[in-house]
Chains A and B, each alone.
Chain A
Amino acid sequence: MSDSRQSKTQTIAPADSAALRKPSERELAWEKNTLQPTLQKNPERQAEFTTISGYPIRRLYTPADLAGWDPDTDLGQPGEPPYTRGIHATMHRGRLWTMRQFAGFGTAEDTNQRFRYLLAQGQSGLSTAFDLPTLMGYDSDHPLSEGEVGKCGVAISSLADMEVLFDQIPLADVTTSMTINSPAAVIWAMYLAVAEKQEADWKKISGTLQNDILKEYIAQKEYIYPPEPSMRLVIDTFEFGAKNTPKFNTISISGYHIREAGSTAIQELAFTLRDGMEYVEWGLRRGLEIDEFAPQLSFFFNAHSDFFEEIAKYRAARRIWHKAMTERYGSKSARSYALRFHAQTAGCSLTAQQPYNNVVRTALQALAAVLGGTQSLHTNSLDEAWALPTEFAATIALRTQQIIAHETGVPNTVDPLGGSYFVETLTNEVERGAWDYIRKIDALGGMVAAIERGFPQREIAEASYRYQRELDNKEKLMVGVNAFVSEEKPLEILQIDETVAHRQAARLKKLRAERSGDEVARRLSALRNATKGKDNLMPFIYDAVKAYATLGEICDAMRDTFGTYEEVAIT
């Protein structure tokens, strides 16, 4: 194994590692007596085998691949550093992962019904998808919201909508994840206001705010403000959360979207963890103590199709985070340096063609996440290359997790793949590849600087184009797409019509008429003033939310000071 091999995630030099291997006499004898005659008779299917990320995979892994690898230090014990085997001593024997299906469409009423249905089906946590206007900080009746209200998620324009969304759902008992980034502080304030109304103790409620703006600039592109004020808002939520909601994950540092944008597994891992380090550094610069806010940082990874590469990625992630937190930032608390993550199966792997095959893809991807030691999991629905899932499709997706949990036996032992020559080697190699990228980003001056120079964006665009070429050339196959093609009948899918937008507009009109306009104006003006200083903005946002200022009004108050961000598009 050599470092030069890991530094190239795009151009692969597969021979390097072989050159440094010292196979045993017995392995050499096998090569001569058994392998060579076989290859002469039956050549292998391909000259080279690679992962879906383009990473070369050897024919066979043996102890020769793990020379210098120490099970005590490199693998360790479950629940102990460096956490290769998982962050809990008993892992899924003690407690299964949280089955957390991402859901959201139409109005708050529509999504509230889906939430209650999913909880009734045995789902253990909630996860909210917001529509694009909400993600971009626009009210449902803003001109730019036209055609987008309730389409990709639920439309939430004010606390009044949030109250409906969680109607009859006890926030004291249910943990909720919210996929919201640029306006995360505002949506979180709405959630906390609902919790307060339900008399749920802020110190006890738990859930996750995605709040990861860096991956928006890198991959998903749902940003409002420039990086500097956006990072201020993130650190404001860290500070507010450390004081007021110690069990709430104030951020979910996300590789998912980076991977969906076409990155390799190593890029996903490296950019996500370097994002995590960037948040830590900004928190420390604010004057927060590392172990005061870092226990509330969580992660979110993709569960893609290349089974072992994904498992190696999760194992390497825990090792890198432990090393970075202890060695770079002096963390002394396991709650900070043990990496907790959510996983979601890969949306970009789903095919519009022969959509029922997606059930199988999703099951295998979910299995990799479970074997990789995930804390929570979302499984995609079979119809998502067409639309948001129907209740039928969403139920199969949840059942897929329940089958893995209760029928396969996979969760009955901790890290069943630990010690596999292949999995351990791949874990080492993925880790080294990620560190190479992390150091490259360090040298660029950190992640914000790297983003401003387009570095991660360019790396991802290259990887995504390379993969598309491989599909076009049939070097990589997708069943039903570029191989084994057949005609299919159309699926029944979920349709969201424009009446959602009309209902939302009517509700907003009523809200604006009924609330105290003076109070809203006063609190928005207090927020606007605070944006010009250095105070934590969360209390001001919370005040505005409680007076039923809308999401758009609050985001506009901040737009006035912060301005908006436009990227330089890289193609």
Chain B
Amino acid sequence: MTKKIRVLIAKPGLDGHDRGAKVIARALRDAGMEVIYTGLRQTPEMIASAAVQEDVDVIGLSILSGAHNTICPQLMKLLHDKGMNDVTVLVGGIIPEADIPALKQAGIAQIFLPGTSTQDIVDFIHRRTTAA
């Protein structure tokens, strides 16, 4: 049996709208992945530490508040400092298209916008983790 893909679903920032995070957590679990959900209001430090501790392959951030340009680069730097360079970081939520290139530049592997099917996210994770 192959090792299960380990995913950390995190909700950074002050926002409490967790519908998306919870739906994704459950969909990835149903797709056979090991999912850890951080709960609400996680700082980048808390997320990076949890990622190291849980030794995850993927981090999924749910951000709807407009704080992505602040949070994502901070998290990527912390992950780099902790030596987690091969973790796949995904963002889902309300992200203006104009912000996407800078987020990808910062190391975010993919940004999933409202309306994405959960299967697309599952497929993306499978492609990423088998390629790695």
Contact = CB atoms under 8 A, between A and B. Distances in A.
Given A136-B14, A148-B14, A352-B113, A570 B22 contact: yes
Chain A interface size, as a band, is 35 or more
B65 A148 contact: yes
A72 to B, nearest CB: 42
Chain B interface size, as a band, is 35 or more
Given A152-B65, A471-B117, A481-B115, A571 B14 contact: no
B25 to A, nearest CB: 4
Given A152-B15, A468-B23, A495-B96, A221 B37 contact: no
Interface string B19-36: 101110111010000010
A144 B40 CA distance: 13
A464 B23 contact: yes
B73 to A, nearest CB: 10
Interface in A523-554: none
Interface string B92-132: 00101110000000000000011101110000000000000
Contact of B67 (A148, A353, A464): A148
A567 interface: yes
B13 interface: yes
Contact of A465 (B21, B26, B67): B26
Contacts of A132: 13-15, 65, 67
B25 A222 contact: no
Nearest to A136: B14
A495 B21 CA distance: 24
A461 B22 contact: yes
Contacts of B21: 571
Contacts of A478: 115
Nearest to A472: B117
Contact of A569 (B23, B40, B43, B115): B40
A415 B63 CA distance: 41
Interface string B45-84: 0000000000000000000011101110000000000000
Nearest to B64: A152
Q: Which of B21, B66, B113 has the most CB of A within 10 A?
A: B66
B95 to A, nearest CB: 8
A147 interface: yes
A465 B23 contact: yes
A561 interface: no
B115 A464 contact: no
Interface of A: 132-133, 135-136, 138, 144-148, 151-152, 216, 220-223, 260-262, 348, 350-353, 385-388, 461, 464-465, 468, 471-472, 478, 480-482, 490, 493, 495-496, 498, 566-567, 569-571
Given A132-B14, A262-B23, A569-B18, 15 more contacts: A132-B13, A132-B65, A147-B66, A222-B16, A351-B114, A385-B94, A386-B96, A388-B66, A464-B22, A482-B117, A490-B98, A498-B70, A567-B40, A569-B39, A571-B22
26 contacts: A132-B15, A135-B14, A144-B41, A147-B70, A148-B67, A151-B65, A151-B67, A216-B16, A222-B16, A260-B17, A262-B19, A348-B19, A353-B115, A387-B94, A387-B96, A388-B66, A461-B26, A465-B27, A471-B117, A472-B119, A478-B115, A490-B97, A498-B70, A566-B39, A569-B22, A571-B21
